[in-house]
C-alpha cells in the first residue's frame, strides 16, 4: 500500500479512495475565468485541480484563486524554479515539477526548502517525451524501464535533500508502455502514484486509450489519483474518470446513464437525447441507473434493470420505472419530466 499524502483537505494514498484530477485550460492569470472553470469542474466531481504557472502573474493569481474555490489547487511549473516558490508562497496546495527541467541542484533545493517549510507535497512528473539522453542511450530509446529509472532518480534526488512528501507521475502516450511502467514502479516505491495516459487525444481516441490504460493499471490495485487527459472541455475528463472508476467498482455514487443503440425503429433524436440526459444528471447526487430508450416497442423491457428510464417516439415520450410505463407526455416535455423525477427522487 502506498503512503498517505495530504493535498489541501484531501488525502491520497494509504488506501483512501482514488481521487479525480483535471487541469484548467484558462489562462491562470485570468482569475475570474479560472475560478469559474474550477467551480464548474468541482460541481461535476473534480477532487483536485491543476493550473499552469508559466508567468509571475499566474503564480501570484493563486492567492486570489484559492480564496474563491473549495478544492485543492496544484501549481504546474516547468523550467523556472522561482515560479514554483512563488506559487507555494501564494497558497498552492501542491506543486508539480520535473527536477530535470528545473535546473541545477541548488535551484531544486531552493524549491524543496520552501515545500518543506510549508509541508507542501511535490508531484514529481516524468513523461516519456522528456527522458534524458543518458537514459535513452542506456535503453536504446523510450522504454517503460527508462521511464521508471528516470522518475526514481528524481525522487531520490529530492529524498537526499531531506524531503519525502512526494507523489509520482509517470506518463506515456503509449498505453501498454504506460501500463508496464506502472507495474514496474509499483514494486519499487511506496509513494502515491498519479495515473494517466498523457497526450491521449480527442474525446473519442482519448477516452478509449484512457479507459484501457487506466483500467488495466487500476484493476491491479495500482494508482491513487487519476486524470483522463482529453483535447477538449475539462468537464469531459471528469465525466470519463468517474465512469472509469465506477465501471471498475472503485467508486460508488453518481447516476449511470445507459442507452440503446439506434436502429430503424428509432423515431427520435436518441443520440442528442442521451447526451442531454448525461449532461443533465452530472450534478445530481444519486446512485441510480437511468435508461434512455429510442422507441416504445422494446424500451420498457430493455429498461427493466434501470431504476428509471425514458423512451420516445412519434411526438410522445414515456416515463418508465423498473420496466413499467408510469406516464406518457409530449416528447418535448420528456427531459424536464425526467429531471423533475430525479430531483424529487425518494420523496
Q: How does residue 12 score in pLDDT terms, banded at 50, 70 and 90?
A: very high
* pLDDT greater than 60 at residue 81: yes
pLDDT-based confidence at residue 17 (cuts at 50, 70, 90): very high
Quick check: 137 pLDDT over 70? yes
Burial environment of residue 20 by CB neighbours within 10 A (0 to 12, 13 to 18, 19 or more): buried
Angle at 17 between CA 12 and CA 23, to 5 degrees: 60
pLDDT in tens, 297-322: 555 666 677 888 888 767 778 888 87
Name 38's Cβ contacts closer than 8 Å, sequence gap at least 6.
24, 46, 49, 65, 69, 71, 73
Q: pLDDT value at position 102?
A: 78
Q: Give the single-character DSSP code of 82.
A: H
pLDDT at 300: 62
The stretch 116-138 carries a mean pLDDT of 90
- CA–CA separation, 276 and 281 (whole Å): 9
Domain coordinates of the chain in residue numbers?
5-247, 256-343
Alpha carbon distance 296, 310 (integer Å) = 9
Q: Which of 257, 326, 327, 329 is nearest to 293 (CA)?
A: 257
Span 249-275, pLDDT tens digits: 998 777 888 776 666 555 566 777 778
- For residue range 20-34, what is the model confidence (pLDDT) as tens digits? 999 999 999 999 999
Find the helix packing angle between 175-185 and 203-218, rounded to 10°: 30
108, pLDDT greater than 80: yes
- Give the whole-number percent of the chain exceeding pLDDT 70: 94
Give the best-scoring range by mean pLDDT among 70-74, 256-260, 291-295: 70-74
Three-state secondary structure call for residue 254:
coil
What pLDDT, on a 0 to 100 scale, did the predictor assign at position 304?
72
Q: Which residues touch 262 (CB under 8 Å, ≥6 apart)?
A: 270, 271, 294
> Residue 325 pLDDT > 60, yes or no?
yes
Distances (CA, A) of 335 to 43, 115, 128, 302, 346: 21, 49, 45, 19, 19
Mean pLDDT of the 124-134 span:
85
Highest CATH level, class, for 256-343: alpha beta
Q: Does domain 5-247 have CATH number 3.20.20.20?
A: yes
- The pLDDT of residue 301 is 66
Secondary element (H or E) of residue 292: strand 289-293
Question: How far apart, in whole angstroms, are the C-alpha atoms of residue 23 and residue 207?
Answer: 16
Q: What is the pLDDT of residue 298?
A: 58
Rounded to whole angstroms, how far apart are CA atoms 240 and 204?
11
Amino acid at each position: 500500500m502506498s503512503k498517505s499524502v495530504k493535498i489541501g483537505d484531501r488525502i491520497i494514498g494509504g488506501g483512501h479512495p482514488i481521487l479525480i484530477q483535471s487541469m484548467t485550460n484558462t489562462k491562470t492569470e485570468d482569475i475570474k475565468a479560472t475560478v469559474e472553470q474550477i467551480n464548474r469542474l468541482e460541481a461535476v466531481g473534480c477532487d483536485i485541480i491543476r493550473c499552469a504557472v508559466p508567468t509571475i502573474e499566474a503564480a501570484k493569481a493563486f492567492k486570489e484563486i484559492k480564496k474563491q474555490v473549495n478544492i485543492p489547487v496544484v501549481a504546474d511549473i516547468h523550467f523556472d524554479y522561482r515560479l514554483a516558490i512563488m506559487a507555494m508562497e501564494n497558497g498552492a496546495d501542491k506543486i508539480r515539477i520535473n527536477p530535470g527541467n528545473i535546473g541545477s541542484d541548488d535551484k531544486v533545493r531552493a524549491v524543496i526548502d520552501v515545500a518543506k517549510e510549508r509541508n507542501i507535497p511535490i508531484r514529481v512528473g516524468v513523461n516519456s517525451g522528456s527522458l534524458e539522453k543518458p537514459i535513452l542511450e542506456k535503453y536504446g530509446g523510450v522504454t517503460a524501464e527508462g521511464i521508471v529509472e528516470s522518475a526514481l532518480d528524481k525522487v531520490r534526488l529530492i529524498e537526499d535533500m531531506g524531503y519525502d512528501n512526494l507523489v509520482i507521475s509517470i506518463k506515456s502516450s503509449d498505453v501498454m508502455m504506460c501500463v508496464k511502467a506502472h507495474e514496474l514502479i509499483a514494486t519499487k516505491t511506496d509513494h502515491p502514484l498519479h495515473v494517466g495516459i498523457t497526450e491521449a487525444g480527442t474525446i473519442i481516441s482519448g477516452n478509449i486509450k484512457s479507459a484501457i490504460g487506466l483500467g488495466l493499471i487500476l484493476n491491479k490495485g495500482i494508482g491513487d489519483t487519476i486524470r483522463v487527459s482529453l483535447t477538449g472541455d475539462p468537464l469531459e475528463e471528469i465525466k470519463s474518470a468517474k465512469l472509469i472508476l465506477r465501471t471498475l467498482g472503485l467508486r460508488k455514487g453518481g447516476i449511470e446513464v445507459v442507452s440503446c443503440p439506434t436502429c430503424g425503429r428509432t423515431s427520435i433524436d436518441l443520440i442528442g437525447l442521451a447526451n442531454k440526459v448525461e449532461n443533465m444528471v452530472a450534478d445530481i447526487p444519486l446512485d441510480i441507473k437511468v435508461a434512455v430508450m429510442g422507441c416504445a416497442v422494446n424500451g420498457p423491457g430493455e429498461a427493466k434493470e434501470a431504476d428509471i428510464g425514458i423512451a420516445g417516439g412519434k411526438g410522445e415520450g414515456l416515463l418508465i420505472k423498473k420496466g413499467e410505463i408510469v406516464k406518457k407526455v409530449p416528447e418535448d416535455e420528456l427531459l424536464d419530466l425526467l429531471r423533475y423525477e430525479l430531483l424529487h427522487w425518494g420523496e
